[in-house]
Chain A
Amino acid sequence: AQSVTQPDIHITVSEGASLELRCNYSYGATPYLFWYVQSPGQGLQLLLKYFSGDTLVQGIKGFEAEFKRSQSSFNLRKPSVHWSDAAEYFCAVAPAEYSGAGSYQLTFGKGTKLSVIP
């Protein structure tokens, strides 16, 4: 079974500083990878996703993530954080093999809460 680890529970950065949120996965083959963001009391919004091809993926709100197969990682980055980026971020993985029997099963990490100092 796949698993996702987000080693940082809480990160605090200053506005304008760069950001990197870590995500490591455990899966026997190449997975599909996702990053979602959740503002307090809200649902999850998709930031970006990786299925195949270029390992550097661009997303919304200026975020990007890089898939590194050798490290089983899919870290999320942003060069300059804005106060509105304060939220909780979730990495998720799904198996890339589509069996045709239904839907993919997403496995989520426990999330990283980002605080931004003005």
Chain B
Amino acid sequence: SQTIHQWPATLVQPVGSPLSLECTVEGTSNPNLYWYRQAAGRGLQLLFYSVGIGQISSEVPQNLSASRPQDRQFILSSKKLLLSDSGFYLCAWSRGGSTDTQYFGPGTRLTVL
């Protein structure tokens, strides 16, 4: 069976500091990978998705970037965090193709002070 991991689970960072969140998937190969942000009262916002190594699509312009250095690893980064980057970050994976379904990780709670 497939498993998706995210770490850290919780992070408190000062404004202006860098960020690196990691997501890995086990039990499948060549998954589609996604980063979402969930801010209070604003639902889920798709930030990035990737259909293969080194292939990143950005959905919204922002202070964040994503990378996919390995097939089942997806990293969300920032060089300098803003207060507005606070939120709950969710990684998801899917097999791709028709009738695609996304499965979510446990999330990372980021607080920028």
Which of A15-23, A58-66, A76-84, A96-104 lines the interface with chain B? A96-104
CB contacts (< 8 Å) of B1 on chain A: these are none
Please determine whether A90 and B57 come into contact, CB atoms closer than 8 angstroms: no
- Which size class do A's interface residues fall under? 20 to 34
Contact with A along B17-43 (1 / 0, CB 8 A): 000000000000000101000000111
Which chain A positions have C-beta within 8 A of B51? 102-103
- Answer yes or no: A106 CB below 8 A from chain B CBs: yes
Q: Which segment of B63-71, B76-84, B97-105 sits at the interface?
A: B97-105
Q: A43-B90, A44-B92, A51-B99 are known contacts; what are 5 more A-B pairs with Cβ within 8 Å? A: A34-B101, A44-B90, A104-B94, A104-B100, A111-B43
Q: Considering the chains assembled together, what is the distance between the CA atoms of A94 and B100 in angstroms? A: 9
Q: List residues of A whose CB falls within 8 A of some B CB.
A: 32, 34, 36, 41-46, 49, 51, 90, 94, 98, 102-106, 108-111
- Chain B residues closer than 8 Å to A36, beta-carbon distance: 104
Within 8 Å by CB of A45, from B44, B99, B104, lies B104
Task: Classify the interface of chain A: helix, strand, loop or mixed.
Answer: loop
CB distance from A103 to the nearest CB of B (A): 4
A103 lies within 8 A of B49 (CB): yes
Residues from chain A with Cβ under 8 Å of B32 in the complex: 102-103
User: Which chain A residues border B8 with CB–CB below 8 Å?
Assistant: none
CA distance A87 to B79 in the complex (A): 34
B70 → chain A, closest Cβ, in Å?
A: 18
Separation of A44 and B46 alpha carbons in the complex (Å): 14
B57 contact set on A, CB distance < 8 A: 102
Cβ contacts under 8 Å, A104 to chain B: 94, 100, 102
Tell whether, in the assembled complex, residue B49 and residue A102 are in contact, meaning their CB atoms are under 8 Å apart: yes
**13 A-B interface contacts by CB (under 8 A):** A36-B104, A41-B107, A41-B109, A42-B107, A43-B106, A44-B104, A46-B102, A49-B101, A102-B57, A103-B94, A103-B96, A106-B46, A106-B102
Complex CA distance for A108 and B102, rounded to whole angstroms: 12
A10 to nearest B CB, angstroms?
A: 11
Which chain A residues border B104 with CB–CB below 8 Å?
Answer: 36, 43-45
What is the minimal beta-carbon distance from B2 to any residue of chain A, in angstroms?
Answer: 12
